[in-house]
Chain A
């Protein structure tokens, strides 16, 4: 699994981008998105997914179940 950003909710505030330990977060015309192949769900880095913890809009950074579980 990886995290994804619900584009319709994202305010483009950029708070998540610098927090991601894997530089998995990018911007395209004001909306941020996560490259799933780079996201490790923050496992091995932090107790919480950093994008979730800092995002001011609830339920905007969410688990993408269509992606296989991350394994280190």
Chain B
């Protein structure tokens, strides 16, 4: 954790922060190097690690569903809600109905004691071998409840030493806890930073509670910002991976987030995750009540693209999970693991079968990377400015393997001559939205959510929705059923380019798309 090579990658002067995708690619290409040994982790000697990353750092990142877009197809995380207290107020949060940040409104997370939480983690990890990461992200601020948070970590690190620990915080008390975080070997920390300018902050945070006093307005924001940046510097200087979450609030911090991006990058943050504001009036948050809107899909993507130009890794696969989410990102199995059922379970932690399972996953990942590479070769030499978006219905594993009618979200890929790039996901409501009949709601919601896409890949689709999608200008494609996503996106794009050339399709800009209001992650 504190190895000198790890620190090196956080050195702000080290300009070329590596892209996760490239690293994954490099690892996958690096064959014959124990992909199935050592518990399925592709670990090579020091020289084999990706250029800018020490093997230790790579080990941390590679199987982490929240860090690695690619890994999130295969590995699962869970959150336990042990930390309900908070020491600041955000205008996008209403804790009267549980933290709006982490839970769907009206769904109160089950608050657990550290002992209950530890048992739940073992139960889940024994049932879901992909579960590699445990996060504590609220529903309040885990560091406003430090005893509960660290007690949970302590219990888990004893019983399930292979599980990575992570922590999300608003950062206010972070500098006071860096030593403890380090001593628990916490794998990564997420800080929610929405501003570095107190004038902007005053519009986001009505108050903070600090040094036994309630501070308000600009002063509150200034203290919060200083503490956040100080905490970030302390973490990265000790080689602890630190990700930044920001909530994009149009008209308040949307332009300012570029500056935030620069500020956190220069302090060694490893990944920046910009999330859309969720502000439906019924959530009862200040922003929700005063009509503050969230960004559209295009505004969000434009900002993420802009930040990426500054060479910062951007996280695009954030699901804004609940504080008690369980399972692969985009899937929530928390209902299977209620406190009652977990406490009644007689669980045994089986490290060996977990490792065997994870070894199989490694082979699958490698096959996928090979297939992507082979398909890319067919685009060799093609030149075009055309970029299209493709929506994919998937259940995970990096394959097109979900029926259109069952999809609760679509993953969005941008296809261009430089390949297939994951740019986000769109959740959709299946039923009963705004009083439409179910079928109608399905089409309405889905089309609105993916209206900027040229095609949607599905494992299967009925004639009716297919016709409706086509009427909206979206090509419904089932011929890649159960194939790898990246490979399929590239193949589709190649054919699309050919059709544009022979004139059978006309390339034009598509519309904007709506981001569904719903659960929200972190802080």
Evaluate contact between A56 and B89: CB separation under 8 angstroms.
Answer: yes
Which of B95, B209, B212 makes the CB contact (< 8 A) with A11?
A: B95
Q: How far is the CA of A19 from the CA of B140 in the complex (A)?
A: 15
Which residue of chain A has its CB nearest to the CB of B141? Answer: A15
Residues of B contacting A48 in the complex (Cβ-Cβ under 8 angstroms): 212-214
With contacts A19-B212, A54-B87 taken as known, whether A14 is within 8 angstroms of B95 at the C-beta atoms is no
Interface residues as binary, B191-211 with A (CB distance below 8 Å gives 1, 0 otherwise)? 000000000000000000100
Which of B96, B98, B111, B209 makes the CB contact (< 8 A) with A54?
A: B209
Interface residues as binary, B75-98 with A (CB distance below 8 Å gives 1, 0 otherwise)? 000000000111101000001101
Residues of B contacting A57 in the complex (Cβ-Cβ under 8 angstroms): 95-96
Evaluate contact between B212 and A50: CB separation under 8 angstroms.
Answer: yes
By CB atoms of chain A within 10 A, which of B89, B98, B214 has the most? B214
Residues of B contacting A53 in the complex (Cβ-Cβ under 8 angstroms): 209, 212-214
- A8–chain B nearest beta-carbon distance, Å: 11
Residues of B contacting A56 in the complex (Cβ-Cβ under 8 angstroms): 86, 89, 95-96
Residues of A contacting B144 in the complex (Cβ-Cβ under 8 angstroms): 15
Q: How far is the CA of A15 from the CA of B172 in the complex (A)?
A: 14
Q: How far is the CA of A46 from the CA of B214 in the complex (A)?
A: 11
Evaluate contact between A13 and B86: CB separation under 8 angstroms.
Answer: yes
Residues of A contacting B296 in the complex (Cβ-Cβ under 8 angstroms): none
Which of A13, A46, A50, A52 makes the CB contact (< 8 A) with B85?
A: A13
The verdict on A12 contacting chain B, using a C-beta distance below 8 Å, is: yes
- A50–chain B nearest beta-carbon distance, Å: 6
Evaluate contact between A46 and B86: CB separation under 8 angstroms.
Answer: no
With an 8 Å Cβ cutoff, the count of chain A residues facing the other chain is 17
Q: How far is the CA of A14 from the CA of B138 in the complex (A)?
A: 12
A-side interface mostly: loop
Interface residues of A in 5-61 (CB under 8 A from B): 9, 11-15, 18-19, 46-48, 50, 52-54, 56-57
Interface residues as binary, B106-147 with A (CB distance below 8 Å gives 1, 0 otherwise)? 000001000000000000000000000000000010001101
Evaluate contact between A13 and B84: CB separation under 8 angstroms.
Answer: yes
Q: How far is the CA of A32 from the CA of B96 in the complex (A)?
A: 14
Evaluate contact between B212 and A14: CB separation under 8 angstroms.
Answer: no
Which of A9, A12, A46 makes the CB contact (< 8 A) with B212?
A: A46
Q: How far is the CA of A15 from the CA of B207 in the complex (A)?
A: 14
Which residue of chain B has its CB nearest to the CB of A52? Answer: B214
With contacts A56-B86, A56-B89 taken as known, whether A11 is within 8 angstroms of B213 at the C-beta atoms is no
Evaluate contact between B96 and A14: CB separation under 8 angstroms.
Answer: no
Residues of A contacting B214 in the complex (Cβ-Cβ under 8 angstroms): 48, 52-54
Q: How far is the CA of A47 from the CA of B214 in the complex (A)?
A: 10
Evaluate contact between A15 and B213: CB separation under 8 angstroms.
Answer: no
Which of B85, B96, B111, B212 makes the CB contact (< 8 A) with A15?
A: B85
Residues of B contacting A19 in the complex (Cβ-Cβ under 8 angstroms): 209, 212
Which residue of chain A has its CB nearest to the CB of B97? Answer: A11
Q: How far is the CA of A56 from the CA of B460 in the complex (A)?
A: 48
- A30–chain B nearest beta-carbon distance, Å: 8
Q: How far is the CA of A54 from the CA of B85 in the complex (A)?
A: 9
- A58–chain B nearest beta-carbon distance, Å: 10
Given contacts A15-B85, A15-B209, A48-B214, 14 further A-B contacts (CB under 8 A): A11-B84, A12-B84, A13-B84, A13-B85, A13-B140, A15-B86, A15-B140, A18-B85, A19-B212, A46-B212, A48-B213, A53-B209, A53-B214, A56-B95
Which residue numbers of B lie inside 8 Å of A, CB to CB? 84-87, 89, 95-96, 98, 111, 140, 144-145, 147, 209, 212-214
Which residue numbers of A lie inside 8 Å of B, CB to CB? 9, 11-15, 18-19, 46-48, 50, 52-54, 56-57
A–B complex contacts, Cβ < 8 Å, 7 sampled: A14-B145, A15-B86, A15-B87, A53-B214, A54-B87, A56-B86, A56-B89
